[in-house]
A and B are shown apart, each in its own frame.
Chain A
Amino acid sequence: MDQVDPVDKLLRRQIKLFEHAHRTPIELKGFGLTMKREGIDKSKLYCNPDFLLLPLRECPYLSTLRPEQLSVLTAYYFARAYSEIATSESVALRYNMEASAAVFPLYSDNYMVLFHETAEEFDHIITFRNVCQALIGRGDVIGGEFFPHLKAVPAMLERYRGKLCDNGFGSMYLLMRYILNLALKQLEGFMTAGLDEKVASPLALQIVAGHAEDEARHLTTSLELGIGLFRRATPRSRELISGAMRITMYSMIDKRFSGDAAATWNFETGLGVLQRALQHPEFADFPLSAEALRDLWASEGIAIPASAEFERSRRWIAGQLRRLAESMELALTPQGEAFERYLTYAQGPA
């Protein structure tokens, strides 16, 4: 009789966290504005260069980069990370309110949890726009055109619209958002790890810490509410959601767990950033293009080093994916070498 519905229990915690966030709000916009005023501080690093998965020590050209060049490279990576994060937040803006209205009474505490997150996403997008303006001189690099892979999420949600019950739609959105949260936390959570505070840009560290704290709550909300609503959805909706999540998880595993670091999505990101940074005046005397460097690494057998932070980020994301699969009782079948590696990371210590 006095059995508490597990979903209600989850919601109760979410509401307490949400109220706490109201008492101690984090405003990031000020940091973004300060960064916009200062531009790139070339005496500082904006992330751990090892996280870029570039052969910074092994390559004869990259190993001679000046500290200012390294600073620009990391600043570009920082801007790249946050323009992608802001793009994924723009997806959340569109669907947060819709999912909330579908499954909760208007203006109830639960409804307001997602509403509050929408407000936070706006704060982040404004901040990151300023970050991009400050570091790469352009604020208009946020949006699906710049990150086509992020278009898959709204496309999938639209494809299932009308085919899922309300709880199912809310669940599908939140679980997809969880996957996006994982992707962005794999970037944000580890890119400044191991970076000596003396050489790190203090503003960059403040932005990372402030945003990571908000997103930690969103990550929890996404998973717990997503699973809660999944359990309340109709059997047909659950089946559809399971299928969609399985495909998304396989694709994520494929792009992140290859044994060859050069075949991972993370390396492609690092190379893209290098390509962009080479256009900066600080690299005017740099003799090769990013493509020529890539060819050189291949012909000289220069391996892409999987840094310790990258390995940590893979262990982390594997653990979270496993948790998602277990919570959804989703059986994933082995799919090649990347999947085997994912399993090794996901199983963790014996």
Chain B
Amino acid sequence: MSSERSGQEVELQVGDAVLKVRSGEMLMDICEHHQTCVMFSCRSASCGTCAIVVEQGMENLSPMDGLEAIVVEEVSEGRPNVRLACQVRILGSACVRPLP
């Protein structure tokens, strides 16, 4: 995580909700706090329930690790820009939606 950017206010769109959040936060925590449309279950990159499509700002998300990559490969079925909300930290502005 880029520490210089941590703690700054950034704009995050989750589905139709536009939120002001602090950079460095976990996307899942934000979604849970604001009770947005993103569902979650295991919080540990196992179930794929929290899969989202990043419509903008992929470069502003923390990088993907091995376990997330396995699950994303399975649940995305070839669709691009899919991430798991429980594994992503928000480092700058972004727009995400639940994977249809």
Contact = CB atoms under 8 A, between A and B. Distances in A.
A-B complex is real: yes
Interface of A: 9, 12-13, 16-17, 20, 189, 212-213, 216-217, 219-220, 223-224, 312, 315-316, 319-320, 323, 348-349
Interface string B25-69: 000000010011101111111111100000000000000001100
Contact of A13 (B36, B39, B48): B48
B74 A212 contact: no
A191 to B, nearest CB: 14
A319 B70 CA distance: 24
B15 to A, nearest CB: 9
Contacts of A224: 47
22 contacts: A12-B74, A13-B75, A17-B46, A20-B66, A20-B70, A212-B43, A216-B45, A217-B44, A219-B42, A220-B41, A220-B46, A220-B47, A220-B48, A223-B47, A312-B32, A315-B32, A319-B41, A323-B49, A348-B37, A348-B39, A349-B36, A349-B37
Contacts of A320: 41
Most chain A CB within 10 A, of B36, B47, B48, B66, is at B47
A315 B34 CA distance: 12
A20 B39 contact: no
Contacts of A216: 42-47
Nearest to A17: B46
B19 interface: no
The B interface, classified by DSSP as helix, strand, loop or mixed, is loop
Given A219-B42, A323-B41, 18 more contacts: A12-B74, A13-B48, A16-B74, A17-B70, A20-B67, A212-B43, A216-B43, A216-B45, A216-B47, A219-B47, A220-B42, A220-B47, A220-B48, A223-B41, A315-B32, A319-B41, A348-B37, A348-B39
A223 B42 CA distance: 11
B71 interface: yes
Contacts of B48: 13, 220
B44 A16 contact: no
Nearest to B49: A323
Contact of B44 (A9, A212, A348): A212
The A interface, classified by DSSP as helix, strand, loop or mixed, is helix
Nearest to A214: B44
Contact of B46 (A189, A217, A315): A217
Contacts of B36: 349
B87 to A, nearest CB: 12
B82 to A, nearest CB: 14
Enumerate the 6 nearest inter-chain pairs by beta-carbon distance, A residue then B residue, closest first: A216-B44, A216-B42, A220-B47, A349-B35, A13-B74, A216-B46
Most chain B CB within 10 A, of A20, A223, A224, is at A20
A348 B42 contact: no
B47 to A, nearest CB: 4
Contacts of B47: 216, 219-220, 223-224
Contacts of B67: 17, 20
Contacts of A16: 70, 74
Contacts of A349: 35-37
Contacts of A213: 44
Nearest to B44: A216
Contacts of B32: 312, 315
Contacts of B46: 17, 216-217, 219-220
Contacts of B74: 9, 12-13, 16
Given A189-B43, A219-B46, A220-B47, A17 B37 contact: no
A323 B66 contact: no
Interface string B69-94: 01100110000000000000000000
A320 B74 CA distance: 21
Contacts of A316: 40
B25 to A, nearest CB: 15
Contacts of A220: 41-42, 46-48
